[in-house]
Structure formats: structure tokens, C-alpha cells
Amino acid sequence: MRAAGGPDVSVGDVLLSVEDVSLSFGGVRAVSGVSFDIRKGEIRAIIGPNGAGKTSMLNVINGFYHPQKGRITFKGETRSRMRPHDAAYGGIARTFQNVALFRGMTALDNIMAGRTLKMHANFFWQLLRYGPALREEVEHRKRVEEIIDFLKIQEIRRVPVGRLPYGLQKRVELGRALAMEPELLLLDEPMAGMNLEEKEDMSRFVLDVNDHYGTTIALIEHDMGVVMDLSDRVVVLDHGIKIADGTPDEVKRNQAVIDAYLGVAH
């Protein structure tokens, strides 16, 4: 448990709220009528059995999918749909279930790419690599090196990420998301396919990100131990419907959740 107490543990106001969102692909309802909110500074977990609509939910939040119904309010601004670069500009960063790194680029370049939005030197300075372009490059390199130190990946800086082992790729991907200095960080199964040690490392990083940078985190994870330890509040989806929402303890005792995971006798 990260902290004792009720749901008020999470500091701050609502950062993002999803209201009555429905999303279907043809006849398949991926998400129907789901509402929940994410508050500033908390770690919010989204869990549920396979096919519950968790990843669809994240895709709605950062604008890959456009829901047929519902509203998304982010930082007080309500819209019926986000667009990926709007989400990025607004401060939503994301990692993917199957690592989505830029495979041909080095770890350093991947994380530098995460800072694209913060860099402004125009094309002609870029051509000369002088003046603002060079200054910017050096300045952002410093920030990126801080992230590299933070994630302890100094020695793989210059390695093309396609050649890195899976666990490190996940870490570089987290680095790229952090480089965007997001307000809201969406982690889609950050610990999938990891061994115990790697999971512990990754959990530590997630907590540190939350502590050091004050980043709000929403994560999808299947490892219940991790979810219960890390998160402040948990929302549970099953077949696209929200079946529970609350602190880890409340959710653990919820009968609907137990039924969803263990099945019910008919």
C-alpha cells in the first residue's frame, strides 16, 4: 500500500475526466458508457480481464480512437474527441503494450525525439546547425541526460534500440515519454513480460516519476501485486463496462470484481 486512508489520499483536483464514453467497432462494443476521473498527482490503475476495453480507453484518451458518444475533459477543457498531437501538446505522454520505439535510432535519439515539441529552432538554423539550433540541441541534451541518469541507462545511450533487450527497451520508452515532461503519463502494461527483478525496478521508476516530477500516472497492468502496491485508486473494466472504482482495498473486496476475475457459478 502506498498510503493509508481513503480516496482523499490523491492530492489535487481532477486533471482528466471521462464521461459516459462509448466506443464501438462495427458491431463490437469495446467501451460502453464508462465514466471516471484522474486527479492531479495520483497513480490511477485501470484493470480488468483480457478484452475489457482498457487499451481502447487509453487510445480514446490520447486520441487514437474517437468515441461515438461521451466527453473528455482535460485540464478544464471539454471535447468530444482528442487528436494525438493535441494530446501531446496538452501534456499527455504514453508508452505502449508492445514497445513502440523508433527502432532504427539510438536510445539517446529516441529520448531526444521525445523533446521535439519543446524545440523551436526553425529549418534554416537547423540547416546551419548553428545559433539557436545548436544552443537548443545542447540545452535539451542536458535535460535528456538527466532522464538517462534517472533511468540508469547511461551505458546504452548510443545503442540502436532494436538491439536492446526487452526490459531496457521498456525503460527507454518510459524515458521518451518522460522527455515530454507530461502532466499525465499513460502506461500500457509497463511490466508485461518482465521477470520479478525487472518488475521491481520498473515499479520503483513509476513511483519515483510520481514523486520527483509530480507526474500524474494512469497505468494498465495485469500483475495484481503491482497494481495494489502502486496505485492510489483503481478502476475496473469488464466487457467495456465499468464494474468498480475505488481504492485498491475497496476494489479487492468488491464482489463484481471477484466474479469478473474468477467467474461465477451458474
Partner 1 sequence: MFYREAGQFKTNYAADVAVFPILQDRIGLGIILFIAAVIIPWFGSSFLIQAVMIPFLIFSLAAIGLNLLTGYTGLLSLGTGAFMGVGAYACYKLTTYFPNVNIIIWIAASGFFSAAIGVLFGLPSLRIKGFYLAVATLAAQFFLSWCFIRQPWFYNYNVSGAIEVPTRSLFGVPITGATATDTTRYFVVLGFVVVMTWAASNLVHGRIGRMWMAVRDMDLAAELTGIRLLPTKLLAFATSSFYCGVAGALLVFLWYGGAEPAVFDVNLSFFILFMVIIGGLGSLTGSFFGAALIFIMPIVLRYFPPKLGIPIHPATVEHIQYMVIGALIILFLIAEPAGLARLWQIGKQKLRVWPFPY
Give residues in contact with partner 1 (CB under 8 A). 62, 64, 84-85, 87-89, 93-94, 96, 100-105, 109, 112-114, 116-117, 119, 121, 123, 126-129, 133-134, 136-138, 141-142, 145, 176, 180
Alpha carbon distance 79, 61 (integer Å) = 11
Element at 22 (helix H, strand E): strand 14-25
Strand order in the sheet with 92-95: 92-95, 184-188, 216-220, 43-47, 233-238, 241-246
Tell me whether residue 137 or residue 198 sits nearer to partner 1 (CB atom). Answer: 137
Question: Whole-number minimum distance, CB 91 to partner 1, in Å?
Answer: 10
Question: Whole-number minimum distance, CB 132 to partner 1, in Å?
Answer: 11
Tell me whether residue 136 or residue 229 sits nearer to partner 1 (CB atom). Answer: 136
Using alpha carbons, list the distances in angstroms from residue 137 to 112, 130, 154, 197, 250.
9, 10, 19, 35, 48
Tell me whether residue 134 or residue 241 sits nearer to partner 1 (CB atom). Answer: 134
Question: Whole-number minimum distance, CB 116 to partner 1, in Å?
Answer: 6
53 contacts: CB under 8 Å, gap ≥ 6: 23, 30, 31, 34, 237, 239, 240
Question: Whole-number minimum distance, CB 35 to partner 1, in Å?
Answer: 24
Longest dimension (CA), the chain: 72
Helix/strand/coil for 246:
strand
Tell me whether residue 101 or residue 227 sits nearer to partner 1 (CB atom). Answer: 101
Question: Whole-number minimum distance, CB 100 to partner 1, in Å?
Answer: 4
Within 10 A of 152 (CB to CB), how many other CB atoms are there? 11
Tell me whether residue 145 or residue 198 sits nearer to partner 1 (CB atom). Answer: 145
Tell me whether residue 58 or residue 236 sits nearer to partner 1 (CB atom). Answer: 58
Sign of CA dihedral 63, 59, 215, 251: positive
Question: Whole-number minimum distance, CB 141 to partner 1, in Å?
Answer: 5
